[in-house]
Every structure is written in C-alpha cells, then in structure tokens.
Structure 1
Amino acid sequence: MAEDLRLGLNLGYWQRTADDATGLVQAAERLGYDSVWTAEAYGSDAFTPLAWYGAQTSRIKLGTSVAQLSARTPAATAMTAMTLDHLTGGRLLLGVGASGPQVVEGWYGRPFARPLARTREYVEIMRKIWRREEPVTNDGPHYPLPLPGGLGKPLKLITRPLRADIPVYLGAEGPKNVALAAEIAQGWLPLFTFPDKIDTMYGTALAGARPDFDVAAMVMTMVTDDVRAALDGVKMMLTLYIGGMGAKTRNFHADIIGRMGYAEAAERIQALYLSGRKEEAFAAIPDELADGISLVGPPARIRERLKPWRASPVTNLLVMGPRDEETLRTVRDLVLG
C-alpha cells in the first residue's frame, strides 16, 4: 500500500515536428512532478526526446517507457543510457521491454523467442558494462560476447559512467515477466492497471520485490466535466491495443484484459477489430473497464477514484493526457496534496 504516491508525466510517443513538449515538461518540473517519460514503438525513439527535454530542465527524472530490447543490442542501450545519464546529471530511469512478436519480427526482423530469458541476459550485460569491473563477456545464448568464432575480444566501456547502478525498470504484463521485474529490476512499468485487481493478478509475482521497488503505473488522466467523452477516449485507446496492437494468436494486451476478468469481451473486441468492424469493437469495451484503469472526470470524482490506487501496490502514477500547466497543477494537487 502506498498512501504517498509519486507523480510522473508520461508523454508517450513523439509524433511530429510540432510536438515539442518542452514547456509542459518545464511546468511539470516547477510543479514538483518527479519524472517525465517517453515511449517508442515503430516511429520515434524514446531517447532523443528525453535528451532534448533533459537539456532544458535540471531536476525532473527522465524515463523511457519503454525502450525496446530488439531495437538495440545490450551494449548499444547501455552506452546510450550511460551517455544520457551523464549529460543530465544522473536523472535517467531506464525502462526496457521485450515488446511483442508483431513489432519485434515485423519491424526489427528479429526472433521473439524466449523473451524472459532474453530480458534477463540483456539486463545482466548492461550492468556488467556500467560496473566496468572487467572486460565484458557473456556466455548466454541470446547475446554472446564476444561473438564466438570471430575476431572480437572482450572490451571494457571507455567512459566511466556517472552511476554504475542506473535504475532499470521492466515493462511487463504477464505474471512471469512481472516476477522477473521484481527479481532483477528497480521498478515495473505496467501499461494497464486496474488497482482493485492488482493484488489478485500480481500479488504472488510481486512478493519477492525489494522494499523500495517502484510500481510506476501508466494511467490515462483527464480532468473534465464530460465523463462520457473522457471514458470514450479511454475506450478508443483500449480498442486499438486490444484489437490491433498484437498478432491474432498472441496479443499480450488482450491477455491482460482477460486476466482482469474481461476475457470474453477481449476476445470479442479483437475479433471485431480484425474483421474491420472497429466501431463495434469500440462499443464492446465495458465502461467499467475503461473507468477502472483510468482517472477521468471532474476533480472531486478523480479524488474519489484515487482511493483504490492509494490502497494498491502502485507507488508512482505516470499520468497520460494532461497537456497544459493548469491541468498539471490540478492533477498535482489531487495526487500530492
């Protein structure tokens, strides 16, 4: 239980030249937000916007939610993280995740097999690199270093990291992946969180977590008197993720909705979406689900809806949606006040 929640701003994907959120990030820093986060899928990368915002702020932490494993080798991610952490005075929070087979195989052209083992090996290599205790070797099957049979030799990072223990977060949805996060990482980045159900869904997986383990939940947040319109906005997002962000036979987003108790709805939503009946898929999203994973409505309603979040294992709210300083201030007062 975390009565005293931390508060972050999740900007998601950088989409276009006009999408410069510097002013918003600076406002979040002034208002006491603990962190700002960016994402990547198959468009913008997660690190470049953080470097831009980090250069124009001084305190707010900078997180990736998440950098995709298959986009870079462990050494490339470790180098990028070390560089950005140095340039921003030790403010990086490195969120990484395996993504799903549709993106990994379709966009990066890499096999998706054994995501848990790959994640463990990836994180171990990064930490060896940052520690600089000796030239880096790895005998694992996914990222062997040096490459067997070649001319390579073990190497040590040239630059000394500002921090040898850059915090690592895992983006995870399945119980086994969440348990891995609790074992090897400083935090977990759940995409969809139903606070009333998190103990039932992940209590066992989180049982071995360190005392300061950070459960940093992304949550759509809209301050508005039009609750219907706000819930419809959440439902639009859920329609895309449940219906189209994953292969028909392997969609982790649909799976997590099923574990929340909406398996039949998730199956119907995906079937409708993939058959081109997107409006019907949208209509099939239960309002209860959309409301349960979000914080929407006028301030009094959001204040009441915060109670189950405070009673849950969540320690950090990463709000998605606020795009102006007034809304940031209202959310700050509700969560931290």
Structure 2
Amino acid sequence: MSQVGVTLPFDGLPLHQHREAIERLADAGISEVSTGESNGLDALSPLLLAAAWRPELTLTAAVVSAFTRGPSIMASTAAALAEAAPGRARFGIGAGSDRIVEGWNGIPFTKPYSRVAHTLRVLRATLSGQRASTVAESAAALGIEDFKLGRPPERPPALVVAALGPRMQRLAAAEADGVVLNFLAASDVSTVRDAAAGVDRQLPDPLAVQARVFVVTGEGDPAELAARRMIAAYLSVPVYANFQRWLGRGEQLAEMAEAWDRGDRAKAVEVIPDQVVHDLFLTGSPRDIAPRVRAYLDAGVEIATLGVLPPYGVKASPSDQVDFLCELAAALWSDAVT
C-alpha cells in the first residue's frame, strides 16, 4: 500500500518538542517518518521517539552510511530500530558522499559500491541471527573478524539501499528489500524501474521503491530561489551529479556545474533551467502540490517521503510547516478519493 511520509527532525524544533507535530501529522494521514545522517542529528533518535509517541508509524532510517558506522555497530543500530517498531522498521544503507565520509569524518571514500554491497550482506546475515562468517567473502572484504549479534530482532527490519546509479540500483533490485531515491522527478521512476528489470532477484518479495520528494512551502520567486540554491549545493557533489547525468540531465546542468567549479555560486544558482527546478521540487499551495505527490505514487513509488523547505528568506516556524503538511495530506487523500 502506498504511503506518504515526512522527513524528521523539523528545523527550529528541539527533538523533545516534536511530539505534538508527529501526532498531528499521523492524525492527518502521514504514515511514515524518515531520517538521515549528515551534519545534523543521528538517524535513530528521532525515529525512536516517534515510535514511542505513535506506534503505528513506519520508521525509515534513510540513510546510514556504510562507511561511518562499523558493521557490528550498524547491525546493533538496525536491531534497535526493529525492536522499537516490529514489522514497521526500514533500515537504509548508503555510501554517502566523499564530502561526508572523507571530508567530515576522515574516512577514505574508496570502493563505495563494494562497501555497501558487503555491508548489506553482513547485515542480512547477522540480523537473522547468523554469524558474519556465513557471508565469509563480505566479512573479509570489510576486514572484520567473526561477529554474531547478541540480540537479533524477532522481526528484522527491511533493508533498503540508497542508489544513485544503475550499478547500485541493480544491487538493490537483487538483494535489498527496497531502494531509496533522491532528487528525481515522478517521470524518472520508470527509468529506475527499467534499470532493475531483468535482475536476478534473490528475495521473494518485489523491490519496494521509496523516494524523498522535496517540497517548498510557498510559491513565486522566494520558493524558486530556495529550490535553486539546494539544487546547486547538492547536484554539484559528484555522486549526485553522476546520478543526474544518468537520468539524462547532464547537458541541462552543465552550465551550473561549470559556474560552481569556478566558484561563482550566484551564477550556478541562476543558470539552472526552469524545467529542472520544476522537475525536482514541488512548490505552491497544498492543493497545487497534492497531485504532483500523487504522480510519484502512481509511477510506482511505495513511500513518498516529503522533505520540506521554507521559501528563501522566509523564517517559517515548525508549526507553519506542520500546518502546511496537514493541509497537503488532506488535499492528497481528497484527490485520491475523487
């Protein structure tokens, strides 16, 4: 069944004050909450609080870098999430980026595909109660000695992979419960589905597709500028730039990349084509945005997780964002019924 979720935490709202927001969103029909790890809070804490406040929510850690946590700590983290939300936990594994892994954590960012693949296999084994030596090649590749999780969960979490290219997507299609995507239009979902077609899937259930959908809570120039600034900042990072090239936007983003590389940030923001902004960001009123969220679900996305930003220069309060999301959920379910 298709779900719509939101990204946590809300900026400007201390974590211990999130309860009211989460309860309002759950009452409005939001059924999933998602976190990540970069330079903010860790991926687990907001989800554990949400699980305590609204036990029916699906919890997604999307995603944890396979480089920044060792395999045994990652298995323990995933097990804790599974215990907090039995049958509703989704643990995302990704490479991260060279900026986060190497620049911020001092860990060499080498062979990201191999790191994710071997971590996925070790997690699959250890979360089911087996020793890491069950997948000896992967344990050796990660440089770990034999390891057995002391408290494997009764219901292991779904293991999902963050994929920004065809090779990682094929890994997800073959060995993961789901794939998590970022910075894509609803029209791109078929490209991702096609990449997974023909892969020899090793699991009984079909691959679930989850996408973070970026929403700006407003319209006009401030909303567009917020979208443009985020596109320039993220799509200048090599892993994201490569993903957009694979999706067919390389030529459209070439001028932006050139301006960014020579240090002209203002020019990079300015030259992003309007079509790219429209494809990757949803702006406008809740009623405007609802059918565009529905387009992701109709294209085959099982969970559309909304990442919410205020218009540039607007200091939106967390309650304003929650109000907007509740209105959006109401419009979305109304559209679904009609």
Q: Tell me the TM-score range normalised by the shorter chain.
A: 0.7 to 0.9
| 2:175 aligned partner, one-letter code | I
Q: Is the CA contact (8 Å cut-off) linking 1:82 and 1:162 kept in structure 2?
A: no
2:188 is matched with which residue? 197
1:77 is matched with which residue? 74
Report matched runs for 1:83-232 at 5 Å. Answer: 83-134=80-131, 136=133, 138-140=136-138, 141-146=140-145, 154-163=146-155, 165-200=156-191, 202-208=193-199, 212-224=206-218, 226-232=219-225
Per-residue CA deviations over 1:161-208 (Å, capped at 9, x if unaligned) read 131x31011111111111111111111111111222332355133554
Q: Is the CA contact (8 Å cut-off) linking 2:5 and 2:34 kept in structure 1?
A: yes
Report matched runs for 1:285-300 at 5 Å. Answer: 285-300=272-287
Partners of 1:309 and 1:6 in 2: CA distance: 11
Partners of 1:332 and 1:44 in 2: CA distance: 26
Bigger RCO (CA 8 Å, 6+ sep): 1
The 3 A distance-change label for structure 1 pair 13 and 207 is farther
Q: Is the CA contact (8 Å cut-off) linking 1:139 and 1:145 kept in structure 2?
A: no
1:149 is matched with which residue? none
Q: Is the CA contact (8 Å cut-off) linking 1:5 and 1:335 kept in structure 2?
A: no
Shift of 1:20: 4.7
1:271 is matched with which residue? 258
Per-residue CA deviations over 1:83-133 (Å, capped at 9, x if unaligned) read 232134453210110012232222333332222222121111112111114
Partners of 1:36 and 1:64 in 2: CA distance: 9
Partners of 2:50 and 2:287 in 1: CA distance: 32
Partners of 2:301 and 2:244 in 1: CA distance: 18
SS of the residue 1:8 aligns to: strand
The 3 A distance-change label for structure 1 pair 103 and 144 is same
Q: CA RMSD in A?
A: 2.7
Task: Please tell me whether residue 47 in structure 1 is matched to residue 44 in structure 2.
Answer: yes
Q: Is the CA contact (8 Å cut-off) linking 1:241 and 1:253 kept in structure 2?
A: yes
Partners of 1:88 and 1:5 in 2: CA distance: 19
The 3 A distance-change label for structure 1 pair 187 and 276 is same
SS of the residue 1:238 aligns to: helix
> How many residues are matched?
319
2:34 is matched with which residue? 37
Partners of 2:131 and 2:95 in 1: CA distance: 27
Instruction: Give unmatched runs, 5+ long, in structure 2.
Output: 310-317
Per-residue CA deviations over 1:27-57 (Å, capped at 9, x if unaligned) read 2222232210111113432112222333333
1:67 is matched with which residue? 64
Among candidates 262, 266, 282, match of residue 269 of structure 2? 282
Identity of aligned residues (%): 23
Partners of 1:173 and 1:13 in 2: CA distance: 25
The 3 A distance-change label for structure 1 pair 155 and 199 is closer
The answer to which structure has the higher helix fraction is 2
SS of the residue 2:137 aligns to: coil
TM-score (norm 2): 0.84
Task: Please tell me whether residue 333 in structure 1 is matched to residue 326 in structure 2.
Answer: no
Partners of 1:32 and 1:44 in 2: CA distance: 25
Per-residue CA deviations over 1:145-170 (Å, capped at 9, x if unaligned) read 41xxxxxxx4432224131x310111
